[in-house]
Amino acid sequence: MPCTRISTRCGGSCATTRAPPPDFVQFRGAPTFRGTGGPVLHKRGHLLAVSWDVNGRRVLGLLSPFVEQITYVVRLTDDFGGVWRQVGAGHFYDLTDMRAHPMGYAP
């Protein structure tokens, strides 16, 4: 297991200081697109979105380089204590028409 940035910065050596891997990146399956009538068929493209988690305490970024496969969920903040603002937007780059389309996002 590699050293963490903190252990290296604080003078610890890899031989003696180990930390668990950070959990700020999670891997999930393909995202589900929903329209007003329910789920929508997948399109070929890339998805990038940002939103609060279900508790409103963490800002999450979502990246799906190819929406038919893996999705990366990146925690951008943890236990946010600042001024809360409404966030929940994304963009889908459609490989068919080669354009970015704005869209909403909810975790």
**58 within some domain:** yes
**1 within some domain:** no
Task: Check whether 43 has a pLDDT greater than 60.
Answer: yes
Task: Check whether 60 has a pLDDT greater than 50.
Answer: yes
**75 within some domain:** yes
Task: Kindly report the pTM of this predicted structure.
Answer: 0.63
For the chain, how many structural domains are there in total?
1
Region 50-78 average pLDDT: 86
CA atoms within 13 A on the CB side of 22: 10
Region 38-64 average pLDDT: 82
Task: Check whether 75 has a pLDDT greater than 70.
Answer: yes
